[in-house]
Amino acid sequence: MAVTADAPLVTEGEPSLAEQVASRRWYHTIRLSDEVTSPGWMDTEKAAPSMPWPGDLTGKRCLDVGTFDGAWAFEMERRGAGEVLAIDILDEDRWDWPPIVDPASRAGIDAQKGQGRGFAIAKRALASNVERRDASIYDLNPAEFGTFDLVFVGSLLLHLRDPILALSRVATVTDGSLIVSDALSARTTLTSPLSPTFDLDGVGRPYWWKPNLAGLRHMVKISGFRPVTRCEPFLMPPGPGHPRPPLSQAVRSRTGWELIRSSRLGDPHARIRAVRTSEP
């Protein structure tokens, strides 16, 4: 499937920003104008201030990996970054799917992703200079992408079969800091707080390793980084676009319980900032 990263928006008889925003499902909650905020699945507006930013980003070169609607890329630009590159894979066939795929899960992801249109709407509304490029985290290398003062990897490691390889590729393009904000296993964080422990999914959907707090920190370290903040748990707040299934769904399946939890409380995540080491 060939996909154009930044297809131009319709100009003749163009719908208003509010209409464009209402015409699709959003993953990110982004304030696009005084009147219009995208109704995201996750409330990235609320989560942004507590990310472990390394301070002033003025003039910095930043990379957002797996950008989706672009919230973190636009946030880095808002914080003064001189150049922001956002990469993502627009063709979902190239994601790390498990061998057996659940068609309902696949259709749900297709509908939400919508070929990255949200990013294009947001970029235009914000008059942003963020450049989006269709590339995988596994493709990162300094010869092709250069190096970055700050790399943001958000809610992506969970979806990768090989998150250590992916983070090692990130290390090759990181000159300054890395921020990782990713899904956390609350259960193993409580039951085995000291040992790096990972829940493994890989059933039906592109969900793989979910670490406990010690596990996420360990992943970052063995990929070639030195943590400079603690690995801090938090709940990624649900946005106005998050479905709110009835509580009865919680007992039907694990995904039902996860949806109830993330719609009512938020999705267990952890955030950490690290710098590259010469040796892991």
Ligand X SMILES: C[S@@+](CC[C@H](N)C(=O)[O-])C[C@H]1O[C@@H](n2cnc3c(N)ncnc32)[C@H](O)[C@@H]1O
Residue 65 interacting with ligand X (CB under 6 A): yes
Long-range contacts: 122-128, Cβ < 8 Å, 24+? 122/28, 122/30, 122/32, 122/38, 122/69, 122/70, 122/74, 123/6, 123/70, 123/74, 124/9, 125/17, 125/32, 125/33, 125/36, 126/30, 126/32, 126/74, 126/77, 128/70, 128/73, 128/74, 128/77
Nearer to ligand X, 67 or 185 (CB): 67
Residue 95 interacting with ligand X (CB under 6 A): yes
Residue 274 interacting with ligand X (CB under 6 A): no
Residue 192 interacting with ligand X (CB under 6 A): no
Residue 159 interacting with ligand X (CB under 6 A): yes
Residue 154 interacting with ligand X (CB under 6 A): yes
Stretch that binds ligand X, among 52-60, 125-133, 136-144, 222-230 (CB under 6 A): 136-144
Residue 173 interacting with ligand X (CB under 6 A): no
Of 136, 172, 249, 255, the one binding ligand X by CB under 6 A: 136
Which residues from 13-42 bind ligand X, rule CB under 6 A? 42
Residue 272 interacting with ligand X (CB under 6 A): no
Task: Catalogue the E-assigned strands of the chain.
Answer: 26-28, 40-42, 61-65, 83-88, 131-134, 148-154, 174-183, 198-200, 209-211, 225-227, 232-236, 267-276
Nearer to ligand X, 112 or 192 (CB): 112
- Do 87 and 108 form a contact (C-beta atoms < 8 A)? no
**Smallest distance from the beta carbon of 231 to ligand X, in angstroms?**
16
**Smallest distance from the beta carbon of 159 to ligand X, in angstroms?**
5
Nearer to ligand X, 27 or 225 (CB): 27
Q: By Cβ distance, which residue is nearest to ligand X?
A: 154
Nearer to ligand X, 26 or 225 (CB): 26
Nearer to ligand X, 217 or 271 (CB): 271
The number of residues making up the chain comes to: 280
> Smallest Cα–Cα separation from 181: which of 211, 221, 209, 154?
154
Residue 123 interacting with ligand X (CB under 6 A): no
Q: How many other β-carbons are positioned within 10 Å of the β-carbon of residue 63? A: 29
Of 39, 52, 66, 224, the one binding ligand X by CB under 6 A: 66
What are the residues binding ligand X (CB under 6 A)? 42, 65-68, 72, 87-89, 95, 136-138, 154-156, 159
